[in-house]
């Protein structure tokens, strides 16, 4: 078990990192603005479950392979790019009525949850971040280095879930205010679809250093 000072440092560092809006936060905000608070919260849970998978991978040492193999990195990277682009294209092709009132059925919420998990799981930069970040706070000479990594990683995920949920609630409130406008549905469809495609583009043009090394 990490000592109290280490836990506090990790918690503060994690808070500083997760409050900065990144692709996952943009994804959550887009969901909550376009489909309501419930959809945003479900996507936040999914995104952070995806982060938990990366924590477990870091504990198991799997991200070492990803960090050192250009081929493995590129496979995961382009799978994520394709998935984000697919979500964006499908959003642009939807009917405006799908965005008029955020009536979420359980099937739709399950789909949003799975998409949230995949969005973060298919981001190799998240995996490499955990691999680079967590070992800085782990005592390599300790007999419980694995459990330390797991505890610290889940601390970061927990803080991320809290801040992402706050973003989802804020986005839902913005959506409620905007939904009263007649042009809301069409604007939301176009903006949401464009954001997903932009995220795919950002993912495609960044993180190429490893692949080219």
| pLDDT, position 211 | 42
Taking only the tens place, the pLDDT of each residue in 67-118 is 677 776 677 678 777 877 887 787 788 776 655 555 555 558 888 899 889 8
Q: Return the structure tokens found at 17.
A: 């990192």
> Which of 119 and 196 is assigned the larger pLDDT?
119
pLDDT of residue 126: 77
What's residue 165's pLDDT? Answer: 93
Residue 193 or 45, more confident = 45
How far, in Å, are 12, 44, 89 from residue 112 at the CA level? 30, 10, 16
Listed in sequence order, the DSSP H helices in 19-105 are: 23-35, 37-60, 62-68, 70-93
pLDDT of residue 169: 92
CA distance 188 to 92: 10
* Higher pLDDT pick, 42 / 85: 42
Q: How far apart are CA 137 and CA 101, in angstroms?
A: 46
pTM above 0.85, yes or no: no
Helix and strand totals (H; E) in the chain: 10, 0
Q: How far apart are CA 99 and CA 179, in angstroms?
A: 9
Q: What are phi and psi of 112, to 5 degrees?
A: -65, -40
pLDDT at 57 over 60: yes
Question: Quick one: pLDDT at residue 2?
Answer: 63
Residue scoring higher pLDDT (143 or 166): 166
Q: What is the pLDDT of residues 148-206, one digit of tens each?
A: 778 888 888 998 899 999 989 988 888 776 666 666 667 767 776 787 687 678 667 76
Region 4-32 average pLDDT: 75
Tell me the torsion sign for CA atoms 22, 27, 30, 36: negative
């Amino acid at each position: 078990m990490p000592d109290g000072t280490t836990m506090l440092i990790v918690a503060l560092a994690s808070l500083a990192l997760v409050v900065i809006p990144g692709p996952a936060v943009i994804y959550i905000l887009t969901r909550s603005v376009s489909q309501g608070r419930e959809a945003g919260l479900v996507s936040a849970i999914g995104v952070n479950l995806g982060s938990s998978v990366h924590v477990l991978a870091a504990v198991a040492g799997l991200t070492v392979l990803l960090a050192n193999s250009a081929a493995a990195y590129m496979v995961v990277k382009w799978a994520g790019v394709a998935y984000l682009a697919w979500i964006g294209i499908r959003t642009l092709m939807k009917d405006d009525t799908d965005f008029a009132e955020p009536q979420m059925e359980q099937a739709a919420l399950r789909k949003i949850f799975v998409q949230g998990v995949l969005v973060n799981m298919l981001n190799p930069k998240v995996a490499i971040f955990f691999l680079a970040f967590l070992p800085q706070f782990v005592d390599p000479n300790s007999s419980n280095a694995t459990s330390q990594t797991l505890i610290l990683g889940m601390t970061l995920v927990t803080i991320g879930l809290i801040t992402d949920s706050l973003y989802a609630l804020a986005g839902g409130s913005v959506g409620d205010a905007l939904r009263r406008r007649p042009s809301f549905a069409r604007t939301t469809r176009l903006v949401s679809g464009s954001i997903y495609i932009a995220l795919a583009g950002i993912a495609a043009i960044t993180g190429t250093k490893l692949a080219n090394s």
